[in-house]
Structure 1
Amino acid sequence: MDADPTPGNPDEVRTLADELQTFADDVGEALGRVRGMAGDRAVLDWAGLSAEAFRSEFDGVPGNLEKLRTSYDMAARALQSYWPTLETAQGMADRALDRAIAAQADLSSARAALSDAQDWVNRAGEEADRLEREGEREGVEPPAEAEVRAATRDANAADQAASSAQGRVDAAEEALSAARQLAQDAKGMREEAARVCADGIDAASDAGIQNRRWWEDAIHWVSENWDTIV
């Protein structure tokens, strides 16, 4: 493959997932405290609000904080599911690369051996043809039996060498093909996991707060009252 079949950094994805989960947990903790504030007389007295006024002003805060917590929790879980698969896929891709390099080296060596063996076959064949022609010529002493047997043995050895070299070529090509398939499998695993993760993040976005103005107001309110909340 010309390009990395499994791009990405699992450690960075895991760190981001942990950060999102921590934020979601913090929002969940704040949510629990905010929900208890409406019934806390001391807080209401401190804020100078009646229970009705508090609910009127901040009635949407718990629901929106719940959306925020849910959204970040969903995004964190999507990334938490993604990074281990990415790590596994990258391990597969690394093994595929190592195997491909070894198979390519074997293939180059086997092809060179096959070329030499084929040259040997050609030479042995030419020698056998020469001896056969000499044996058919009239008035010429035929080749010695030992010479014919030697030529036959040489031709057989050449054929065996060529067959062995061809077997090495076939095995190396098969190993290279298997390495490429492993890389394709790793790519497919990573792409499917990325698709699922992206769907999860889209769902997290849909589950979150759509009113950005509310979010800005909520951040301001929570920051102003953080000491009381916690």
Structure 2
Amino acid sequence: MTGWSYEGIGWQTPNTEQVAPVYRLYNPNAKGGDHYYTQSVYEGTELEKKGWKWDNKGVPVFFSGGNINMYVAYNPNAQSGSHNYTTSLFEQNNLLNLGWTYGKVAWKVAGAGKSAPEMNLKQILNGDFSSLQGTWKNGKGQTLTFNGAKVTGDIDITGEGFKEATLTTPIEASHNTVFVNSKPQTICDTRYFIFASKNVSPTDYPDDTDKTRDRLFITTNGGNEMFSGEDGAKRAFYRVD
């Protein structure tokens, strides 16, 4: 979604039947709208009396359970997005020290949140691909998963029937992007990956991708022109996990 940035995993839900319902309400009177999540039907009913509306027709939007606290805090100076949910007690205490209020445990979760790593072009140039680990997805619904230097996907990565490739030698840093070779080598030429970190665009071609996010392309003969046009925006892979 344009303008939004992937920040990582908020929390992990339980995979057992020992769960409790969580409800969502929204405030139509807040500028930009605002949502609030609660386990308490009583709390939801009290908010309804103040003009809030039950979302999802009052049916739970998900279920909670586990041994890890999910904290909630409220920003009295904001209207839209005024509540923050986190499994990090450090983050919660920092917000409370900055003037946020209503600090409490909202519900329990099975696993803590995890921030998304940021692409590190300097590391990539040195053959360190640790900042790429995880799953990436493009606008066409195609996915790539990095595990060390190995890349697997649900697409033909090489253009010759292979859905698995291995990153090998970084080629160069070119106009704010980094090119990395891969194997197996194709009949015509080597398939290579182009990497661009968030908030940075190539200087030699227009950038029509979501510049607020790390992104990558796979190509044989293309360069930074891959970033241009509607098709370029759809071809770009963004981190999703």
Q: TM-score, normalised by structure 2?
A: 0.15
Q: Greater strand share, 1 or 2? A: 2
